[in-house]
Chain A
Amino acid sequence: MAETSLSSGQIESDGDPAPRRGLAALFYRNETLRGYTLMSPTLVILTIGIIIPLAILVVMSFWTRDGFGFDTTMTTANYERIWTEPIFGALLQRSFWISGVATVATVVLCYPMAYYVAFHVHRNKILWIILMTLPFWTSYLLRVFAWKVILGYEGVINSGFMAIGWIEAPLEFLLYSQTAVIITLAHAWAAFAILPLYVSLEKIDKSLLEAATDLGDGPMARFFRITLPLSMPGVIAATFLIFIPTTGDYITPALLGGPDGKMIGNFIQIQFGAVNNWPMGATLSIMLMLWIAAIALVFLFVTRKVQEKIA
């Protein structure tokens, strides 16, 4: 593909107005080819960055560890281990639980914000959006550490509550717990919920709401019959954008999770580190991917059914 674009470039630079021949002619006549050429930088990156590593991961997941190297005979031993040893299932379950709660919390908390900007702000909307996403201008790691400071034993919340006199001793469940991980994830990924929610709410035709009011719907009925169903694409997008990456997150649980807050991402990381079992790590990654895909499909199916029912 690179060659075709090069040769066409040369012909053009020659300034030859004569009908194009060969590859160049094909290039100009064939729209599909032109499309692929336009996409080629993306396709190259996609192949190098996603498809090849994924293929390596799949192949490696059928290998086994052999000392510090790999035994490259194909076997499903790793998958059997995941099936038989309870630790993997439990960690997966915990990851889905933590990330599921964080996703629901984020979407529920961000919906009113996006709603407000979409319906009640009429000037400088972009400024509002920028202000809401302002915390995301700092690095993810810094935000996680900031939460460590807020939730810590001598942190903002504990010292604040103690100063007011609400509590006698610092609340210990705030840090090094699943709660800490959920709170941090819900905040750290908020921007990924606000933006799609805002876009889908903004697109709703206001005359539909007026019509609903004219026909006797109260504010609640109007919201559930018009606004919510029409903003569902945004809700679904936000849910996926948060649920998929947070399930595999490992920095937040590593720093804030404590012994009970460790997630599958931490275990995958350890396989590639101290435990030094790369094939097992690959298998775990693939299982995680398959599970997420399955959950996503179920979620899509359910929301579609619900939507049909409402409509």
Chain B
Amino acid sequence: MDVLDQLGAVREGKLSRRKFTKGLLAAGVGMATMPAATKRAMAADGEATYFTWGGYDIPELFVPYQEKHGVLPNFSIFGGSEEALTKMRGGFVVDVSHPCNAGLTRWIQSGLFQPIDTSRLSNWADVMPALVDLPGNQTDGGVWLAPFDWGQTSVTYRTDLFEVEGEESWDMLWDQRYAGRLGSLASGGDAWWCGAIKAGVDFDDLDTDEAFEKIAAVMREQRPLIRTYTDDTTTLEQALASGEMVAAMTWNSSATLLQAEGVPVAFAKPKEGALTWVCGLMIHKDAPNIDRAYDVIDSLLSVESGKFMISDYGYGHSNAKSFDQFDEATLASLGLSKNPIEILQAGHFQRPMSQEWETRMNELFEQIKAGF
């Protein structure tokens, strides 16, 4: 009996109110338990959990994994790597997580991770050594972080709505003409560093009080111009597509995705230099599904995943062979090259910072975002 029938029956007095309420109760119980049943079916036991940024929870990056196991790993999403580390320090256990080079030392020091035995990764031989060679990454048991993706944080802007004065520059996100139509990533892990570039602070001096003052000043100057700060790149992409925002701080992927949709956007090459970073994979020390954890990493390092990362997201990949699928012109148009170090050094390459710095920075940036 469907719901409308029941309502009709009540109106005609055929069905007592009590019976009708019972029907409602049954429907309610059914609805409440349905998601539980499906969830259990999805979160199969013994599946690896991959704790990552939004946008990496897609089947395209797990083709080899799915071939081997028939299912996708479980995903858990974070908006910033500091948030992720805090959550894991609080006792959240995953198999694989996805930090970036700026956090590497702090992540290692947290004691929450185990070295990766590279001999268990079939794609390791093709991983570009320049990316593995990060400060503190090598250890006796292998490496702490298996590099996976690299790219830039810069300004994505609407070529038809944003009038660039002179060269492309970080000033675009401080442009008074477009007050209320600019967007920014909410995480200090990106925004603060971009503020440092804008303020002209050398990354060597980031830790000084003077640097904090200078960067805080430019961030305060920018705040009234920002429509919203968000860690959700989809929000920024949609806002750029609709014209709600004319320029926003994003990673490569937003520009590439929007271009593929036919939205007239460009990923700026700011004259001051973009922010560059390398992210990779680390295994939790208590990873409950260690074999599958290696399969997750191997899958992400595979050429199939690399091809997708480059063509659909516009990120660099760590597997040298991924780049063989593209000609130089395509790579150049995406701002990538087979020689990652060249690109990374051309921009401002993020570097590991102390925990005190990270905490102080986050605290200050949150206050600035709230208007103080």
Contact = CB atoms under 8 A, between A and B. Distances in A.
Contacts of B362: 274-276
A250 interface: no
A90 B229 contact: no
Interface string B8-28: 001100000100010010000
Contact of B17 (A87, A126, A172): A126
Chain A CB within 10 Å — which of B7, B244, B359, B370 has the most? B370
Given A124-B11, A172-B180, A273-B86, A68 B242 contact: no
A271 to B, nearest CB: 9
Nearest to B360: A275
A276 B244 contact: no
A289 interface: no
Contact of B86 (A126, A127, A153, A274): A274
Contacts, number: 74
Contact of A153 (B21, B244, B356, B359): B244
Nearest to A257: B228
B248 to A, nearest CB: 13
Contacts of B366: 267, 270, 274-275
A9 to B, nearest CB: 29
A111 B243 CA distance: 40
Contact of B227 (A176, A273, A275): A176
A260 B86 CA distance: 26
Given A274-B366, A276-B359, A68 B243 contact: no
Interface string B352-372: 000110010011001101111
A172 B223 CA distance: 17
A258 interface: yes
A252 to B, nearest CB: 14
Contacts of A259: 223, 226, 228-229, 369-371
Contacts of A276: 82, 86, 359, 362
Contacts of A262: 369-370
B10 A176 contact: no
Interface in A254-306: 258-260, 262, 266-267, 270, 272-277
Contacts of A67: 355-356
B228 A258 contact: yes
Contacts of B359: 65, 275-277
B89 interface: yes
A308 to B, nearest CB: 40
B372 A90 contact: yes
Interface of A: 65, 67-68, 86-87, 90-91, 124, 126-127, 130, 137, 152-154, 170, 172, 176, 258-260, 262, 266-267, 270, 272-277
11 contacts: A68-B110, A87-B370, A87-B372, A130-B24, A154-B244, A170-B244, A176-B228, A259-B229, A267-B370, A273-B83, A277-B363
